[in-house]
Structure 1
Amino acid sequence: MAVIRKTDITTGMQAFDDWCAAARALEGTAPRTDIAPRLPRPTMALAVRYSLHMLELKAPGPGVEVRVAPWGAIKILDGPASDPHNLTPPDVIELDPDVWLRVAGGITTWAEEREVGHISAVGERDDLSALLPLG
């Protein structure tokens, strides 16, 4: 199942741009790893879904699952896929929506978020820094 409907791509792009603009407006008011603009829930959901869709286009494959609960999960990068008894691939990365949007939008880096403990990752391919930011 797609993480975003085709009819929501344009709205999702705008939501992602709005989140990034709001985050940049907050730079200097808090540590970068704490920046978390409060936008309406539907805007946040579309921003996450659109950015996950962009990552999926950039690095397709079945090997790593990226989860941004509660709004989406995708599989990316080549590598071993899920086995038939366990639908989870061997590499799983979980992020909160604000953490995901910060790294996807270039507000923070993967290393910064990892250092403060905001990224949960299991497996050999647990570093997406070569794919981010998406811009």
Structure 2
Amino acid sequence: MARRISTEEGRAALAGVSAAENPSRTDLATAVRYLLQLLVEKAPGHTVEVRVPPFGAVQVIEGPRHTRGTPPNVVETDARTWIAVATGAEQWADAASAGRIVASGTRADISDLLPLRP
């Protein structure tokens, strides 16, 4: 992640996303990146890659570092689903069973780290 998103900027983006049926791309991107930033702060490491295309991807959870090719532990979801599970508006298990979260690898279930508290 390039620059640090302030708490105020992150909360404003989350408010913008929750208040609008079709939030601006800027609010959506900032909210996703802010929540990914909080996840990295909560569980630093390089074992699981969390992807929220096209807005961001981070590596989290202590353990073996991945350096080449497709990581063995990957979580991928869309922006709205990421925001919902990261804020507690939706449960990980519900989103995963609906196919909106794809988690592969033995350590890819990060539900115990959610929700994040912005």
The alignment's TM-score, normalised by the length of structure 1, stands at: 0.78
Unaligned runs of 5+ in 2: none
Alignment partner, residue 37 of structure 2: 53
Alignment partner, residue 79 of structure 1: 63
Alignment of 1:47-126 (within 5 A): 47-83=31-67, 86-126=68-108
Distance 2:55 2:115 in 1: 19
Q: Which has the larger radius of gyration?
A: 1
Q: Look up the SS of the partner of 1:14 in the other structure.
A: helix
Query: Quick one: which amino acid aligns to residue 116 of structure 1?
Result: A
Percent identity of paired positions between Structure 1 and Structure 2 = 43
Distance 1:125 1:12 in 2: 28
Q: Look up the SS of the partner of 1:120 in the other structure.
A: strand
Matched, 1:11 2:9: yes
Q: Look up the SS of the partner of 1:101 in the other structure.
A: helix
Q: Tell me how far 1:127 sits from its aligned partner.
A: 1.2
Query: Quick one: which amino acid aligns to residue 14 of structure 2?
Result: F
Q: Look up the SS of the partner of 2:22 in the other structure.
A: coil
Distance 2:94 2:79 in 1: 16
Q: Tell me how far 1:87 sits from its aligned partner.
A: 4.6
Distance 2:97 2:41 in 1: 27
Distance 1:77 1:47 in 2: 21
Is the Cα contact below 8 Å between 1:105 and 1:134 reproduced in 2? yes
Distance 1:88 1:79, change over 3 A: farther
Q: Look up the SS of the partner of 2:74 in the other structure.
A: strand
Q: Look up the SS of the partner of 1:38 in the other structure.
A: coil
The alignment's TM-score, normalised by the length of structure 2, stands at: 0.89
Q: Structure 1: which 4+ aligned runs deviate by more than 4 Å? A: none
Distance 2:75 2:93 in 1: 14
